Amino acid sequence: MGVGRGHRVAVLLVDRLKDTIRRRRENISSWEVERTFLSHPAVAEACAVGIPSGVSGEEVLVAIVLQSEASAADLLRYSERDLPYFAVPRYVRFVKSLPKTPSSRVEKYKVRVEGVTEGSWDRELHYVKLSR
């Protein structure tokens, strides 16, 4: 049996599910989180992933490549304009570059595997309260 059009659609849907972050009963589109951060003038690249939470589901982590200076708190407050409160990342990690394939696609699984690193900024540890 050959690979048909329906099979290709199923493969695409599985790939999209990997990009969905499940946080406390809410489904969060990593693409929406990334798009919001990329609209900030200081952000050159962004990659949003879900990382295991100690409570339930996942927490949102965004890895950011800056093109000009900005703080994690400022970026989170900026993201509140377009994201629902549950989609605003808990963790921000500034990186020099994002891991990419030879075709320049971000390798999200590598960002996910690294998870929260020593230099990651935690919104809860810095007592940043979100408006609802």
Q: What is the CATH number of the domain that holds 36?
A: 3.30.300.30
Q: Is residue 43 in some structural domain?
A: yes
- Return the pLDDT at 130: 67
- Of 16-25, 32-41, 59-68, the one with minimum mean pLDDT is 16-25
Q: Is residue 19 in some structural domain?
A: no
Per-residue pLDDT tens over the stretch 73-130: 999 999 999 998 889 999 999 999 999 999 999 999 899 999 889 889 998 876 667 6
Q: Average pLDDT for residues 60-77, to the nearest whole number?
A: 95
Tokens 């949102």 correspond to what residue?
60
Non-local (6+) Cβ contacts of 60 within 8 A are 21, 23, 28, 33, 48, 49, 50, 87, 88, 89, 90, 91
Q: Could you tell me if 28 and 53 are in contact, meaning their C-beta atoms sit under 8 angstroms apart?
A: no
Q: Average pLDDT for residues 53-81, to the nearest whole number?
A: 91
Q: Is residue 93 in some structural domain?
A: yes
Quick check: 53 pLDDT over 90? no
For residue 18, name the pLDDT band (cuts at 50, 70, 90).
low
Per-residue pLDDT tens over the stretch 26-38: 788 889 999 999 9
Q: Is residue 84 in some structural domain?
A: yes
Tokens 């493969």 correspond to what residue?
11
Q: Is residue 128 in some structural domain?
A: no
Residue predicted with more confidence, 25 or 79: 79
Query: Measured at the alpha carbon of residue 30, what is the angle toward residues 25 and 34, in degrees to the nearest 5?
Result: 140
Q: Is residue 6 in some structural domain?
A: no
Q: Is residue 22 in some structural domain?
A: no
Residues spanned by the domain of 36: 27-122
Q: Is residue 78 in some structural domain?
A: yes
**Does residue 68 sit in helix, strand or coil?**
coil
Q: Count structural domains, the chain.
A: 1
Quick check: 25 pLDDT over 90? no
